[in-house]
């Protein structure tokens, strides 16, 4: 792992909040020249400390306004069972995030779907269509309060500077 200093940390923090910052804008905010910021950004990208740049789009905008959280417990933890589960997860477009966890569940899955019927079909696929899944517990998200470190409530959204 590449050592990062205070300048790198400041660059990472600023880019995490706004990935569209130019090297010139970064240089002003960090206190380095634009060329130094450019070299540091490239170095951070090559070291895989910056994993990518993307637009965060509202799920409702793309017709996926229903968010579900699914706890999954596997039947066993053999390599074949785990690999099979990981392949299934990779093939499901509705599955947004997957975390291997401690506690009662082996995995916590975040899904984005258009409707309750789609969520039900996905759960059926997880349980009936996959032999390595022993148990699922599903919660439907009623409101996104804070996401990606940003408060999603109306009074906070107008304060977010992009």
Ordered by start, the domain boundaries in the chain are 6-47, 59-140
Per-residue burial over 7-22, b if 16 or more Cβ lie within 10 Å, else e, is ebebbbebbeeeeebe
pLDDT digits (tens, 9 = 90+) for 103-121: 999 999 999 999 999 999 9
* Sign of torsion over alpha carbons 39, 45, 48, 50: positive
Q: How confident is the model at residue 1 (pLDDT cuts 50, 70, 90)?
A: low
- What is the pTM assigned to this prediction? 0.77
CATH fold label, 59-140 = Alpha-Beta Plaits (3.30.70)
- Closest to 95 in 3D by CA, of 68, 61, 135, 71: 68
Percent of the chain predicted with pLDDT > 70: 93
Q: Is 72 buried (19+), middle (13-18) or exposed (0-12) by CB count in 10 A?
A: buried
**Given this model, what pLDDT does residue 38 score?**
95
Q: What is the mean pLDDT of residues 85-101?
A: 94
Give CA–CA dist 96/58, Å, rounded: 13
Please name every residue paired with 92 in a beta bridge, in sequence order, or none if there are none.
none
CATH class of 6-47: mainly alpha
């Amino acid at each position: 792992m590449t050592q990062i200093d205070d300048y790198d940390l400041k660059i990472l923090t600023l880019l995490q909040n706004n990935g569209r910052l130019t090297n010139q804008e970064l240089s002003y905010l960090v206190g380095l020249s634009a060329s130094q910021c450019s070299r540091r950004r490239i170095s951070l990208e090559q070291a895989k400390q910056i994993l990518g740049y993307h637009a965060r789009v509202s799920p409702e905008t793309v017709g996926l306004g229903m968010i579900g959280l699914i706890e999954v417990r596997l039947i066993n933890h053999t390599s074949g069972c785990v690999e099979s589960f990981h392949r299934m997860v990779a093939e499901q477009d509705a599955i947004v995030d997957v975390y291997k966890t401690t506690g009662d569940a082996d995995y916590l899955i975040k899904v984005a779907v258009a409707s309750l019927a789609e969520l039900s079909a996905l759960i059926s696929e997880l349980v009936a269509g996959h032999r390595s899944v022993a148990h699922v517990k599903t919660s439907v998200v009623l409101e996104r309060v804070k996401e990606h470190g940003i408060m999603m409530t109306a009074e906070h959204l107008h304060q977010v500077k992009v």
